[in-house]
């Protein structure tokens, strides 16, 4: 997980709708929605984030105006015993109603045309509890019970997984709990190995398929070796009964009472770990009855001496049988992770043309900047993947994976090396500051393991690709992705010296104990000392379009700015909040830290053709829909929970075109 310290119609609309329907037929749509609606976090079951709407297009997008603003009323600045909140929700749109969440886990139903509240449900979480991700939630899931008569309570259900580890089912019409689900509308998700309040929580929406609700979890990074289990579970959508569970890591016995080192595994090595959890959004294939689960790092992130081997299935994408939880196939993107290189981006399901054939695939990005294209039925790479030798650890007790998987295509979407000679600075003094920092670190390119002297990680733990994910235009075969280029430093600290270093605090950054390991960790982004800009050559954030049929990059452009009002600062900044694409030939994205704008790009060229000021940065993925004959664009603009320099708001902002009189 991420941790911070500071129309001309290009294609006839009927053709586009038919293509979308072919991929996911209405009969196999668990949400029971139409293509013009937004029934899933990623628009459709496969998470393409593609809308067939084209009322807003490249010719008229500059005429967009604010149609309405909805206030959730939920803001916490982190004072008074409360934790700091963010606003990362992507609403669903079903039958004229938007369903969205706040950082306090309140669920709102809002009129899609007017922005007026219809109902609100408050699960009453403890907003003073320490949640590792802050007070955030990315949205809800919907399910239509086709066996229940129209007009009956809870025929359509809204599911939310909360920060305090509950799964809640609500009547979409009224917001009332579905009393036949679990215990009066909710079930506890705390029955997991090594559960720790606050350190085990939920931030992303569940996935729904074959009448089950599938949930993962968010687990804090680096607190200790034996973090909670990253188990993935499925519950009956009607009753809440547990249907199956799948463990990403092998069973892990707790340490014995007489041992602080752990329990020997069958080969005599110590085996202690946790996590490997699915904290980002999952996607589903209703026709194949598969759930695609992206997993993160095994604990702790930066020392693997107590978890020998590849640590399957952490840092992977796996396909599970929806009815049973059986593992159909798995593909590991990072072996024995030591860099916090989570599979943070949601997977995306598409069909590409390869070697003259139509191939159903899973497209999976990683914080490394790599994109892996895998056959959806088998998990076999469509573009070859080679396991190549990588730098090895010199840390006592660590056994690095000798190789890592490198895809032959597409090319990496973020730089993966940075030499001292290539250090960047806005002034000569900044460049020299960066050179000095880079020279002092171990730096052998991507997959250089953590060290006692300090190691450069490029990309850093923010990515590459993060939870922002990607969007796919099937008509053009283009995948649109936002990536980051902000190098990071990671330095292991011997456990017996850890607290002395924390007290001295000679370096600004994040110190984490990794309790139970022989080393704590210090990490921070590598910035110039004076102007606090990254030491990597800009742009530090990019928007890219990748031709998925050929595995080549079509275009790349800088995205946003760390200092929007200062033209001296180069364009391109870190972003968290992804893109969507539309049949109008547009890419919409906000998400840039510090930069309070939402933008539209021409999908053919990458040219920015519109932007609008938001009340603060839109740290979420936008969505679009049609209501009363008008297309709307909606973005949550509340700031990022971990960026204290940003203004906080509670606003959901909707844009539309002026009415034609």
State the catalytic residues. 340
Sign of CA dihedral 84, 90, 95, 96: positive
- Alpha-carbon distance of 273 to 259, in angstroms, equals 15
CB atoms within 10 A of CB 2: 19
> Do strands 478-484 and 403-407 pair parallel, antiparallel, or not at all (unpaired)?
unpaired
Closest CA to 282 of 264, 294, 299: 294
332 neighbors 405 (Cβ within 8 angstroms) = yes
Strand partners, 406: 386
What string of DSSP letters covers 238-304?
TT--EEEEE-SS---PPPPTT-SS--B-TTSSB----B----S--EEETTTTEEEEE--PBSSTT--
**First and final C-alpha spacing in the chain:** 49
Residue 12: how many other CB atoms lie within 10 Å: 11
Contacts for 328-332: CB closer than 8 Å, 24+ residues apart: 328/290, 328/379, 329/378, 329/379, 330/379, 331/364, 331/372, 331/374, 331/379, 331/381, 332/405
Q: What are the residues whose beta carbons fall under 8 Å from the beta carbon of 509, sequence distance 6 or more?
A: 5, 489, 522, 523, 524
In 3D space, the residue among 115, 29, 38 whose CA is nearest the CA of residue 71 turns out to be: 115
CB 31 within 8 A of CB 39: yes
User: Is 410 within 8 Å of 383 (Cβ atoms)?
Assistant: yes
Distance CA 292, CA 319 (A): 5
Dist. CA 538–CA 540, nearest whole Å: 5
């Amino acid at each position: 997980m991420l941790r911070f310290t500071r129309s001309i119609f290009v294609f006839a609309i009927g053709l586009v709708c038919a293509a979308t329907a072919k991929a996911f037929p209405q009969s196999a749509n668990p949400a029971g929605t139409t293509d013009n609606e937004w029934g899933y976090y990623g628009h459709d079951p496969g998470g393409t984030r593609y809308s067939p709407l084209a009322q807003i297009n490249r010719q008229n997008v500059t005429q967009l105006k604010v149609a309405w603003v909805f206030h959730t009323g939920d803001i916490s600045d982190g004072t008074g015993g409360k934790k700091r909140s963010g606003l990362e929700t992507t609403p669903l749109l079903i039958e004229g109603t938007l369903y969205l969440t706040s950082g306090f886990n309140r669920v709102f139903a809002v009129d899609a045309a007017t922005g007026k509240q219809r109902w609100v449900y408050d699960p009453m979480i403890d907003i003073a509890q320490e949640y590792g991700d802050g007070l955030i939630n990315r949205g809800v899931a919907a399910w239509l019970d086709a066996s229940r008569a129209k007009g009956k309570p809870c025929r359509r259900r809204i599911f939310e997984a909360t920060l305090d580890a509950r799964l809640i089912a609500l009547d979409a019409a009224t917001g009332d709990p579905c009393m036949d689900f679990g215990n009066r509308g909710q079930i506890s998700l705390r029955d997991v190995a090594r559960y720790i309040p606050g350190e085990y929580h939920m931030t992303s929406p569940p996935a729904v398929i074959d009448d089950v609700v599938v949930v993962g979890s968010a687990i804090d990074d680096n607190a200790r070796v034996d973090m909670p289990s990253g188990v993935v579970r499925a519950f009956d959508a009607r009753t809440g009964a547990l249907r199956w569970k799948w463990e990403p890591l092998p069973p892990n016995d707790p340490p014995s009472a007489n041992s602080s080192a752990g329990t020997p595994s069958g080969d005599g090595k110590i085996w202690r770990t946790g996590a490997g959890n699915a904290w980002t959004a999952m996607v589903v294939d209703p026709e194949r009855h598969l759930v695609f689960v992206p997993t993160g790092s095994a604990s702790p992130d930066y020392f693997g001496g107590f978890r020998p081997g590849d640590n399957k299935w952490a840092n992977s994408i796996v396909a599970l049988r929806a009815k049973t939880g059986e593992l159909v196939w798995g593909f590991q993107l990072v072996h024995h992770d030591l860099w916090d290189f989570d599979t943070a981006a949601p997977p995306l399901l598409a069909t590409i043309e390869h070697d003259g054939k139509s191939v159903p695939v899973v497209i999976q990005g990683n914080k490394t900047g790599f994109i892996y294209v895998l056959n959806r039925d088998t998990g076999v790479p469509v573009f070859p993947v080679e396991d190549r030798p990588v730098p090895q650890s010199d840390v006592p007790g660590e056994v690095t994976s000798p190789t890592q998987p490198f895809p032959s295509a597409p090319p990496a979407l973020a730089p993966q090396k940075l030499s001292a000679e290539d250090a960047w600075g806005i002034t000569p003094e900044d460049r020299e500051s960066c050179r000095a920092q880079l020279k002092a670190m171990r730096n052998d390119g991507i997959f250089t393991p953590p060290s006692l002297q300090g190691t450069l990680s490029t990309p850093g733990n923010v990515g590459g690709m993060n939870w922002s994910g990607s969007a796919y235009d099937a008509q053009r075969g283009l995948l649109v992705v936002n990536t980051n280029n902000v190098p990071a430093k990671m330095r292991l600290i011997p456990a017996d010296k850890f607290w002395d270093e924390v007290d001295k605090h000679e370096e600004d950054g994040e110190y984490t104990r990794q309790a139970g390991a022989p080393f704590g960790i210090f990490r921070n982004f590598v910035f110039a000392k004076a102007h606090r800009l990254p030491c990597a050559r800009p742009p530090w954030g990019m928007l890219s379009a990748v031709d998925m049929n050929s595995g080549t990059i079509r275009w790349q452009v800088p995205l946003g700015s760390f200092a929007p009002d200062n033209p001296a600062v180069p364009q391109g900044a870190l972003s968290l909040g992804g893109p969507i694409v539309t049949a109008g030939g547009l890419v919409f994205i906000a998400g840039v830290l510090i930069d309070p704008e939402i933008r539209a790009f021409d999908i053919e060229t990458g040219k920015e053709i519109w932007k609008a000021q938001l009340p603060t940065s839109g740290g979420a993925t936008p969505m679009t829909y049609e209501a009363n004959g008008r297309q709307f664009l909606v973005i949550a603009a509340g700031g990022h929970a971990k960026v204290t320099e940003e203004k906080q708001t509670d606003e959901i902002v909707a844009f539309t075109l002026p009415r034609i009189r």
